[in-house]
Amino acid sequence: MASMNMIQALNNALDITLASDPDTLIFGEDVGYFGGVFRVTDKLQEKHGLTRCFDAPISEGGIIAAAIGMGAYGLRPVVEIQFADYILPAYDQLVSEAARLRYRSGGEFWAPLTVRSPYGGGIFGGQTHSQSPEAIFAHITGLKTVIPSNPYDAKGLLIAAIECDDPVVFLEPKRIYNGPFDGRPDQAMKTWAGHKDAEVPEGHYTVPLGKAAITRPGSEVTVLAYGTMVHVALSAIEESGLDAELIDLRSIVPLDIDTIVASVKKTGRCVIVHEASRFSGFGAELSALIQERCFYHLKAPIGRVCGWDTPYPHAFEWDYFPGPARIIRALNSAMEN
């Protein structure tokens, strides 16, 4: 066991994978010599060699296309897209190719690639370094989408993603790379040191895709969150004084529907939290699924606390970010009814 922040945990997962599986390789913009703009691939080139971890042209579509071809050959590429906002130029490759290859070829070819990408807001990154595009992946049949919220999960989920034979979009909430963030920007920055989920086994382990975690058990209301918002929600719950059950989805495809439904049937109330803008966001699917499956158990409308339906605005970061105050309001409103 070692105490690691999320960057170290991810780096460690990649290091272990490169060491144990010669069919894995890493490429992406600035990931080679420099070790990535967020340092997730730090020292991997030095340690494992030039062809195992190398720089790619600024061509997200080209990166994912090459990775699909490598996957079809029999490798297991792990690529980094420097910011999730910049996956969009490669969206067609992900949707029309990676996600569809196995199905359309009758199982002759498949693309076991992992697309890692720093994701989400809270770092004053403005419009194009803050977005949370998970919904546009969740809708795509054939793609898996994983979003860890802590170092332990980050490592275990990343290894699981790489070992998975399906294409996985692995979104890393950059705001919590270095420490958990409870949505209170005015308070001092925390590091991961001392956090229970920062205790990371040094060897190989996996956290299965499709299994949610109950971050905080509770009885009065269910809160669904992932990524950074797990910490924000937890802090809001604590402040609210409510006995809320907080579920960290960990992967949104596959989705752990059983854990969600069991919880909402128990509590009868639910609040969904995500950073992405609300309209047609992933919270909508969660809400729809729950009302379909728990209709007769619901005591109050399912609430959604999300980014507003505007682009991500630089100066208004904390007006936009769905912080604890808005979550508490939603919790109270769920309890009122």
Partner 1 sequence: MPDKTRLQLYIPKPQARPGEPVNFDGLVVPEAGSVRRPDPLGCEADMRDMPFSLVRVLDEGGHAVGPWAPDVSPDLLRKGLRAMLQTRLFDDKLFRLQRQGKTSFYMKSTGEEAIGAAQSLMLGQGDMCFPTYRVLSWLMARDYPLINLVNQLFSNEKDPLKGRQLPVLYSARDYGFYSLSGNLGSRFGHAVGWAMASAYRNDDKIALGYVGEGTTAEGDFHEALTFAGVYHAPAILCVTNNQWAISTFAGIANPRDTTFAAKAIGYGIPGLRVDGNDFLAVCAATQWAAERAHANLGSTLIEFFTYRAAGHSTSDDPTKYRPVDEPVHWPLGDPIVRLKTHLITIGEWDEARHDALTAELTEEINAAVREGEAVGTLGKSKPPVAEMFEGVFKEPDWRVIEQRKELGI
Summarize as ranges the residues that interact with a second copy (CB under 8 A): 85, 88-89, 91-92, 95-96, 99-100, 103-104, 127-128, 135-136, 138-139, 141-142, 253, 276-277, 279-285, 287-289, 291-292, 295, 298, 300-304, 309-311, 337
What's the DSSP call for residue 301? Answer: P
Q: Minimum CB separation from partner 1 for residue 299, in Å?
A: 22
Q: Which residues contact 84 (CB under 8 A, 6 or more apart)?
A: 117, 118, 119, 120, 131, 132, 133, 171
Of 179, 50, 167, nearest to 114 by C-alpha is: 167
| 301 binds partner 1 per the rule CB under 8 A | no
The two three-digit tokens of residue 229, written as one number: 């918002």
**Residue 216, SS3 per DSSP:** strand
Total of chain residues touching ligand TPP, rule CB under 6 A = 5
| 277 binds ligand TPP per the rule CB under 6 A | no
For the chain, how many residues are written? 337
Residues 329 and 334: their CA atoms lie apart, in Å, by: 9
Among residues 29, 48, 60, 97, the one annotated as catalytic is 60
Determine how many CB atoms are found less than 10 A away from the CB of residue 195: 17
- Scanning 69-77, 194-202, 213-221, 264-272 for contacts with partner 1 by CB under 8 A, the matching segment is 69-77
Determine how many CB atoms are found less than 10 A away from the CB of residue 291: 14
**Residue 268, SS3 per DSSP:** coil
Q: Is residue 231 among the annotated active site residues? A: no
| 91 binds ligand TPP per the rule CB under 6 A | no
Determine how many CB atoms are found less than 10 A away from the CB of residue 228: 27
Cβ distance to partner 1 smaller for residue 55 or 238: 55
Q: Is residue 274 among the annotated active site residues? A: no
Cβ distance to ligand TPP smaller for residue 89 or 179: 89
Contact track, ligand TPP, 66-85, x by CB under 6 A: ----------------x---
Residues 167 and 21: their CA atoms lie apart, in Å, by: 18
Q: Minimum CB separation from partner 1 for residue 92, in Å?
A: 6
Interface with ligand TPP in residues 240-269 (CB under 6 A)? none
| 288 binds partner 1 per the rule CB under 8 A | no
Among residues 29, 80, 97, 129, the one annotated as catalytic is 129
Catalytic positions are: 60, 129
